[in-house]
A and B are shown apart, each in its own frame.
Chain A
Amino acid sequence: MSPRAAWRLESIGFTQVHDYVAGKADWGSAGLPLEGTRGSETRVGAYINRDVPTCRLDERLADVRAQVRAAGLDTCFVVNDEQVVLGRLGRTALAGEDDVSVEQAMSAGPSTVRPSLELERAVERMRGQNLSTLPVTSSEGRLLGLLERDTAEQALRELNRTAARRLSEGSQP
């Protein structure tokens, strides 16, 4: 649709026309803010814990374990210099031998979600797959943070209460 709009503008005489072909889906998936009635509070991006431990492929498990414990979490994401997620160390992996490298211990290619995902869908997924957290990445695969199930469920309850209240107020004579 936007290419046709761009060409139409040119046909009318505009000379500096750009087409953001990836559009607002791309914008939202990068965790950038959107405006409007839907509101960012219905999206995963509004509830990300961004203080998540990360490590590199060549680190030793003993060193990573100390860092993860200090953060009060039981998972660590393996990233490269671009912050792209390469793997994940879960509780079991973190309990491995001290001298094992992260690369040897990690699970490669963990499932991730985009910050633009509806919070309700994310909660459904966590419940359906019995997950306590969901890693959130940008469309380029960069780690943005972690969605924790407790936080997500609490936020969803609040959103539903607010929606019900608005509906009730709107139906008053």
Chain B
Amino acid sequence: MPTAVDREEVRRLVAAGAQLVEVLPSAEFEEEHLPGAINIPLKELDRETIRQLERGRPVIVYCHDYQ
């Protein structure tokens, strides 16, 4: 079950090697994103696109806010 995390937990997880994934469309990602994040838009999230992620490391997904 995915775990909801806050900002401080994000910083802690990233420092420990977690992967950050923005799931907004690419135009929004290009405009602004968290440092070190990669972009896999929700509509493109499938077994092919997630190959760029390492399964052994935690993954943090985010979008703009509570939408």
Residues of A within 8 A of B (CB): 1-10, 12-28, 30, 32-38
Contacts and interface: CB of A to CB of B under 8 A. Distances in A.
B33 to A, nearest CB: 5
Interface of B: 1-7, 9-10, 13, 18, 21-24, 29-35, 40, 42, 45-47, 50, 53, 55, 57-67
A26 B5 contact: no
Contacts of A5: 21, 23, 40, 42, 45, 61, 63
Given A36-B33, A37-B30, A23 B66 contact: yes
Contact of B6 (A7, A13, A22, A25): A22
A129 to B, nearest CB: 26
Contacts of A25: 64-65
Contact of B62 (A14, A15, A20): A20
Nearest to B32: A36
Contact residues of B: prevailing secondary structure: loop
Nearest to A42: B32
B7 A26 contact: yes
A17 B34 contact: no
A20 B22 CA distance: 10
A6 B7 CA distance: 17
A20 B61 contact: yes
Contact of A36 (B10, B21, B31, B45): B31
A3 B45 CA distance: 13
Closest 4 CB pairs of A and B: A6-B2, A16-B58, A20-B62, A25-B65
Nearest to A43: B32
B7 A27 contact: yes
B67 to A, nearest CB: 6
Given A5-B45, A23-B66, A14 B55 contact: yes
